[in-house]
Amino acid sequence: MRNDIKLVMAKVFRMKIEEIPDSAAAGTLAPWTSLKHVELILHIEKKFGVRFDDELVGTLLTLEVIENALKTALNGTK
């Protein structure tokens, strides 16, 4: 799953997947700006077929947090 999230990040941020570390976070990864953040979440929702709560969107600020939120959302849909 982590690699799939990185693939989405690479597409949205126009980076190579190798350039995205496991520790990727808004604020440390230069292209991950406040404007790009919503675009990232939108693409992740489409890729994994989930929909995050609106209030949650603004808190998904690291790769690890996104991964955990995705696992929760996917478990909830099973």
Partner 1 sequence: MTDILVPTLNTNDSAAKLLEWKAKAGAHVKAGEIVAVLETSKATFDLESPAAGILHPLVAEGASCPFQATVARLFENAAQLEAFLKAAPSSSKSDPALTDPMLSKEAERFAQEHGISREKILSLGKSSLRKSDLESLVDGATSGSNAFHTAHQEAVARTVTLSHQTIPTSFALMKMRAGKALAHVAALSKDKKMLIGLPDLIIHLLAQQQVKHPKCFGHMVRGRFQPMGADIGVIMDVGQGPTIPVIRNASSLSLEGTAKEMMALRVKAMRGGFKAADLEGASIGLSLNTEEAVWVVEPLIQPPQVAMLTMGAVHQELALVDGRAVSSSYVMVGLTYDHRILNGSDAVGLLTDLRLALENLA
Interface residue list for partner 1 (CB under 8 A): 14, 26-27, 31, 33-35, 37-39, 41-42, 54, 57-59, 61
1/60 Cα distance (integer angstroms): 16
Nearer of residues 3 and 35 to partner 1, judged by Cβ: 35
Question: Minimum distance from CB of 59 to partner 1 (Å)?
Answer: 8
With CA atoms as reference, report the closest residue to 12 among 35, 1, 2, 21: 35
Report the nearest approach of partner 1 to the CB of residue 29 (Å): 12
Question: Which residue do the tokens 């077929």 mark?
Answer: 49
d(CA 3, CA 19): 12
Taking the least distance from each CB to partner 1, the nearer of 3 and 65 is 65
